[in-house]
Chains A and B, each alone.
Chain A
């Protein structure tokens, strides 16, 4: 397995360096960092919005029964169908693409956070909620000690999925067309999309290789340890 990987990586490097300068590899890595920052910020914003909503819904079985299938449908719905009106809006209002194309990346993937948190909140044991009510735990203390730790493992699942999906979506979201206007945000997704449009295989392979490397490293160094923590400390029962 390791031999195959090493061989493939060597082949890729040789192929890429045939068509691009080493400087451009550096630029690509920098663009990857830009997209990475964008993805993290978007995940954070989506979490701040959808985690409280998800907990509120999950604690009410009636609401959960209605909302859960809707959220799952929204997650499966192809988000790029909603791109044209958004892009036209950005063009007409002359907004900065670097900021305003970003929400398109999270449009389809934020629902993963929502329905995982709903699932988590609906499985909080009744006795734990009773103790919280009995001791008068309210407000931020309730969130800090009871609700957020309880949904943490589920939130982790949702966040990892949303993050991966957003990286993929960056390829179609960072470079958007409207008529003969092209909107471009700085980032690795735009780089790959441009290279694809032109058909420059060296750059396509470089871009995808860099993106894959970024995602793998982020998973190993950031998501995986957090997931282990969630399993060890926060899992009920």
Chain B
């Protein structure tokens, strides 16, 4: 369930969607990819509404999603075959992409013979070989160990900075704050219940970014505070008793002592602005209105039962 998402991706930037699990960021990414049409609202890509997976947008998944019965070369070639290129052309481009991401020599290996990092490289090659405009990444480094993930991140950023990646924009979904600050130019912080953009943070640090850099650490700290502070204020005022009827664990609403003493009437604070609109000339706009699917309604009803 997503509410009021509105942002624009401009050319040459990496956007990060940062939030806890379940805040709807993967759902949003799937809507952008045309895999899960929104119940209300629209996704507009290059001026047209997205109803089916559009060409020019490809995805990299957390679980690599390689076909186990195809070799590395065949996996990478799949997108090109779908475009209907000639055999010589698609072979050449596939080899080029495999060389680019550093898997030269592994063309005839099967995915089960590869390590996790290598499999994700194949995933990248497959997504990049069709020269998409926008690359969507759904927590691409989460299933890898720390060192492999770091290697892949820095390799990706190196290629991106040098302009060797044939893509114009990237949308990265992650739950790792440091990863978001390391890679993204703009970060949208997501909240849950309903999923919405809490804040937008611009990262203007130059590449390559160092994790120990004071500016980097400040930003990470700031984002961390944002994400955790918002969580508290969202829950304040809601009764969430651990043992119903006893009052144990209830989160009390924020009330000033003046209003408790009767000297001031209780005023509801203005809601935080959740929208950020950028007027870039080229790019992509996402608008998703409040949707309550039948499934969500069922969930809500269940929560109210004792």
- Whether the Cβ atoms of B130 and A135 lie closer than 8 Å is yes
Chain B: minimal CB distance from A192 (Å): 41
Q: Indicate the member of B52, B79, B82, B83 with the most A CB atoms within 10 Å.
A: B82
With the chains together, A237 CA to B52 CA distance in Å? 29
Count of chain A to chain B residue pairs whose CB atoms are closer than 8 Å in the complex: 64
Name A128-166 residues within 8 Å CB distance of B.
128, 130-131, 133-138, 141, 145-146, 149, 152
- Whether the Cβ atoms of B69 and A141 lie closer than 8 Å is no
- B30, B57, B61, B74: the one contacting A131 at CB < 8 Å is B61
- Whether the Cβ atoms of A146 and B65 lie closer than 8 Å is no
B41 beta carbon closer than 8 Å to chain A: no
Interface string of A96-107 (1 = CB under 8 A from B): 000000000000
Contacts A127-B61, A134-B59, A136-B79; A236 near B68 (Cβ below 8 A) = yes
Residues of B within 8 Å of A145, CB to CB, are: 67, 70, 74, 78, 81
- Whether the Cβ atoms of A134 and B78 lie closer than 8 Å is no
With the chains together, A137 CA to B83 CA distance in Å? 8
> Interface size for chain B: under 10, 10 to 19, 20 to 34, or 35 or more residues?
20 to 34
With the chains together, A125 CA to B64 CA distance in Å? 12
Interface string of B159-172 (1 = CB under 8 A from A): 00000000000000
Contacts A146-B67, A233-B69; A131 near B59 (Cβ below 8 A) = yes
Chain B: minimal CB distance from A55 (Å): 16
A234 beta carbon closer than 8 Å to chain B: yes
Chain B: minimal CB distance from A121 (Å): 15
Residues of A within 8 Å of B52, CB to CB, are: 133
Interface string of B61-77 (1 = CB under 8 A from A): 10101011110001000
With the chains together, A236 CA to B30 CA distance in Å? 23
Interface string of B27-40 (1 = CB under 8 A from A): 00010011100000
Residues of A within 8 Å of B23, CB to CB, are: none
A65 beta carbon closer than 8 Å to chain B: no
Chain A: minimal CB distance from B133 (Å): 13
A235 beta carbon closer than 8 Å to chain B: yes
Q: Which residue of B lies closest to A149 (CB)?
A: B69
Contacts A134-B33, A135-B130; A149 near B67 (Cβ below 8 A) = yes
- B55, B65, B67, B78: the one contacting A130 at CB < 8 Å is B65
- Whether the Cβ atoms of B79 and A133 lie closer than 8 Å is no
Q: Which residue of B lies closest to A142 (CB)?
A: B82
Q: Which residue of A lies closest to B62 (CB)?
A: A127
Q: Which residue of A lies closest to B80 (CB)?
A: A135
Residues of B within 8 Å of A233, CB to CB, are: 68-69, 110
B192 beta carbon closer than 8 Å to chain A: no
Q: Which residue of B lies closest to A128 (CB)?
A: B65
Residues of B within 8 Å of A237, CB to CB, are: 68
- Whether the Cβ atoms of B81 and A134 lie closer than 8 Å is no
B174 beta carbon closer than 8 Å to chain A: no
With the chains together, A154 CA to B126 CA distance in Å? 28
Residues of B within 8 Å of A141, CB to CB, are: 81-82
With the chains together, A152 CA to B70 CA distance in Å? 14
Residues of B within 8 Å of A236, CB to CB, are: 68
Chain B: minimal CB distance from A3 (Å): 42
Residues of B within 8 Å of A131, CB to CB, are: 59, 61, 65, 67, 126
Contacts A130-B59, A130-B61; A136 near B83 (Cβ below 8 A) = yes
Residues of A within 8 Å of B67, CB to CB, are: 128, 131, 145-146, 149
With the chains together, A123 CA to B70 CA distance in Å? 18
B53 beta carbon closer than 8 Å to chain A: yes
B288 beta carbon closer than 8 Å to chain A: no
Residues of A within 8 Å of B34, CB to CB, are: 133-134
With the chains together, A136 CA to B74 CA distance in Å? 15
Residues of A within 8 Å of B78, CB to CB, are: 135, 137, 145
B58 beta carbon closer than 8 Å to chain A: yes
Chain B: minimal CB distance from A158 (Å): 18
- Whether the Cβ atoms of A234 and B65 lie closer than 8 Å is no
- Whether the Cβ atoms of A234 and B33 lie closer than 8 Å is no
With the chains together, A178 CA to B259 CA distance in Å? 96
With the chains together, A149 CA to B70 CA distance in Å? 9
Residues of A within 8 Å of B82, CB to CB, are: 135-138, 141
Chain A: minimal CB distance from B32 (Å): 11
Chain B: minimal CB distance from A186 (Å): 40
- Whether the Cβ atoms of B70 and A235 lie closer than 8 Å is no
With the chains together, A134 CA to B57 CA distance in Å? 8
9 A-B Cβ contacts within 8 A?
Answer: A127-B63, A131-B65, A134-B33, A134-B53, A134-B59, A136-B55, A136-B79, A146-B67, A236-B68
The 3 closest A-B pairs by CB, nearest first: A127-B65, A135-B79, A149-B69
Instruction: Point out residues on A near B: beta carbons under 8 Å.
Output: 125, 127-128, 130-131, 133-138, 141, 145-146, 149, 152, 233-237
Using A133-B35, A135-B126, A137-B79 as known contacts, list a sample of 11 further A-B pairs with CB atoms less than 8 Å apart, ordered by residue number in A.
A130-B35, A131-B67, A134-B59, A135-B78, A136-B53, A136-B82, A137-B81, A141-B81, A145-B70, A234-B68, A237-B68
